[in-house]
Structure 1
Amino acid sequence: MASLNLHHLRLFRATAREGTLTAAAKALNISQSAVSTQIKALETDLGHDLFERRGRNLVLTEAGRIALDHADEIFRTAEQLTATFRAVGQQRKVLRIGALATLSRNFQLGFVQPLIGREDVEVVMRSGTQASLLRALEAMTIDVLLTNMVPARDAASPYLVRRLAEQPVSLVGGRSRLALAAQGLPKLLAAAPLILPTPETALRAGFDALTERMGIVPRIAAEADDMAMLRLLARSDSGVAVIPPIVVQDELASGALYELFQLPDITEIFCAVTIRRTFPNPLLADVLENAEAEAAGA
């Protein structure tokens, strides 16, 4: 197959959007016959018809829909390339952060705190699954991923992982749980209704291993995969929550909740995942250095 002609691809994309050769030719300010000829050349190169005629309109074939998806991606990448080099030497004003949906909101807020209030900076935050955010990182639609799940790495892995903080995990509950907590950790684990992270989380794996070593079968009142929900359940006094204290730091400070016990050998690690880039976002260096300094001083 001949090398793909991007000019032909651009004409095809315009025709697909306009729906007719006449409209595409008008939008591109060239003759209709030129558009038709060059689309036929593209179809010859690809070996498939890209349109079928329905009345006066042209409708994409299955091959045409596939070609349009790729054309959109090609020209989107070209636009990003142009924007990247235009930005060289200029101050970047936007930092795009992806955060695991289950990650502590307090930790996320602390991470972006150095940028909050700066009139020259916009912070864009999006949440999602680990897999979707790693794809966004590789596509460079986010600058950094905040997570408590370290991605697998091998020789071919593009990920750069920086550990920002390591937080203890505790049993946290309301005033009504203090008397039971006074009887000791084993009694609290065995008798209190527990609010736990869901089984697929690293925190839950550590907790299950702890209770198994202690020979305790816990009473599970609720499970949640979201730290915000664990926080709400703890505040509602539905039970004793297994949670990093940073998640409920405001409630602990106000006395609405109490840190009953710090769980031995269980911690939550907060990481920043990036990829190597020729033109890294300078704002990212500022927040990463601040987060590491905060952790070192803690």
Structure 2
Amino acid sequence: MDQLNLRHLYYFWVISREGSIARASDVLELAPQTLSGQLATFEASVGGRLFLRERRKLILTDLGRLILGYADDIFALTGELTETLHSGPADRPLALSAGISASIHKLLVYYLLQPAMAIKRPIQLECQTGRTQGLILSLKRKELDVVLTDRMPGVQEETNLTVHPIASSSISLFAAPALAQRLRPGLPGSLNGEPFLANATDVPYFERLMNWFSLNGVRVNLVARVDDSALIKVFGREGYGIFAAPTVIQDEVCRQYEVEHILAIDDVTDELFAITRGSRLNHEAVRAICEARIDFRSARKASKKPM
């Protein structure tokens, strides 16, 4: 222990946080066999077992829990130092890498990122879209500073990740003008049997929307699942079916895609979150996003003011 290997300590820390060598190997981009060997070397250097296996799960020993407590403090401080050095001098542009869930409408993303763009320091923004789970993996690898998402798969159990609720909106239904005019009389019963365009990434509000249809005696005909929020609206514009989108952007959706608003459903909401590493928001732009708690209606009014 005269020369503690911090890399081995870091590997142990990630394994502890991920709960398995397989998941830790994904985060660290190491082969599981390599990571197992590094862990064995670290256990030999500290003089004892750090994990026990119970039903395919890794359980910390007393020694493991002791070392983990120190590791938490060490890597919390090194994380803060890394972000501080990453920020650089105040007159230099601040790099912001944001992961965006593909199921979030891009206009909403613009509003969510606005607080970061509004800070006094210049921002150098890089956006990456994808599925939330993949983006979270990139966040753990420190390839991203923040993930904007409408879902939290397993995040509640991730002790090194923090979820920040930042916005919400009710959901509305839209359709091409001819279809919308035909459906308006007798809503919501007139929706029964009509073609519906759904999001292929299983947006969280989808199940609540299906339940709302069921409670109102409606069974829609699911004709397509599309994993791009803009492409769904293009199909809707061409008359292929009804689609759902957040009510707060109904004006923009109708104008941009030449569709009509059919119905607002207050009982079904779209919740949006920011996910960050750790609980301290040291990155100035990330802190602006997480603390803004966007009022979409105010944001829309501000964006329409004449220049």
- The corresponding residue for 1:106 is 107
1:272 aligns with 2:274: yes
Query: 3-state SS of the aligned residue for 1:185?
Result: coil
Alpha-carbon separation, structure 2, partners of 1:178 and 1:143: 41
Match of 1:261 among 260, 263, 285: 263
> Normalising by the residue count of structure 1, what TM-score does the alignment of the two structures yield?
0.64
Match of 1:142 among 144, 154, 157: 144
Going from structure 1 to structure 2, the CA distance change for 1:198 and 1:215 (only over 3 Å counts) comes to farther
Would the aligned equivalents of 1:233 and 1:239 in 2 still touch at CA under 8 Å?
Answer: yes
Going from structure 1 to structure 2, the CA distance change for 1:185 and 1:146 (only over 3 Å counts) comes to same
1:282 aligns with 2:284: yes
* Residues 32-47 of structure 1 mapped to structure 2, 5 A cutoff: none
Would the aligned equivalents of 1:105 and 1:247 in 2 still touch at CA under 8 Å?
Answer: no
Match of 1:197 among 182, 196, 199: 199
| Range with bigger deviation, 264-273 or 187-196 | 187-196
Would the aligned equivalents of 2:196 and 2:241 in 1 still touch at CA under 8 Å?
Answer: yes
% same residue: 18
- The corresponding residue for 2:218 is 216
Would the aligned equivalents of 1:100 and 1:129 in 2 still touch at CA under 8 Å?
Answer: yes
Q: Which runs of 5+ in 1 are unaligned?
A: 7-62, 71-76
- The corresponding residue for 1:170 is 172
- The corresponding residue for 1:90 is 89
> Normalising by the residue count of structure 2, what TM-score does the alignment of the two structures yield?
0.62
Query: 3-state SS of the aligned residue for 1:231?
Result: helix
Alpha-carbon separation, structure 2, partners of 1:254 and 1:141: 33
Would the aligned equivalents of 2:192 and 2:219 in 1 still touch at CA under 8 Å?
Answer: yes
Query: 1:154 Cα deviation (Å)?
Result: 4.8
Going from structure 1 to structure 2, the CA distance change for 1:178 and 1:87 (only over 3 Å counts) comes to closer
| Range with bigger deviation, 196-205 or 157-166 | 196-205
Query: 1:264 Cα deviation (Å)?
Result: 4.4
Alpha-carbon separation, structure 2, partners of 1:199 and 1:82: 36
Query: 1:89 Cα deviation (Å)?
Result: 6.9
Alpha-carbon separation, structure 2, partners of 1:289 and 1:258: 34
* Residues 242-253 of structure 1 mapped to structure 2, 5 A cutoff: 242-246=244-248, 249-253=251-255
Match of 1:158 among 157, 160, 184: 160
Q: Which letter does structure 2 place at the counterpart of 1:180?
A: R
Q: Which has the larger radius of gyration?
A: 1
